[in-house]
Amino acid sequence: MAETKNSYKFFENRDCEYFPCHKGLSDFNCLFCYCPMYRMENCPGSYKMIESGGRTIKSCLDCTFPHRPENYDKIMEVLKRNM
């Protein structure tokens, strides 16, 4: 597990039926299971805009940004700027 000075920045739920919901991370932070930046246009993650059901939607399928322990502080800054 990733070493963090503050345990509130990281938790991993290996018992979740969807764990891991994204592949390729050794330390997987489940804290932002539902990404708080999903509806933001200036999201720093690697999302794509796709067509689905006749609409254009944001797809975060390949994005691991909120699940990387080192991005906690970056996410908090984005949220503060967008409040």
Structure confidence by residue, pLDDT tens digits, 23-80:
888 888 899 988 999 998 889 999 999 999 999 999 998 899 999 999 999 999 999 9
Taking the CB of residue 46, how many other CB atoms lie within 10 A of it? 11
User: Is residue 2 situated within a structural domain?
Assistant: no
Residue 33 lies in a domain: yes
Domain count, the chain: 1
- Residue 1 is assigned to a structural domain of this protein: no
Asked, for residue 76, whether it belongs to a domain, the answer is yes
Ramachandran area for residue 24 (φ above 0: left; ψ -120 to 50: alpha; else beta): left
Domain carrying residue 61:
7-81
Which residue blocks in 1-83 are alpha helix, DSSP H? 72-81
Q: What is the pTM of this model?
A: 0.77
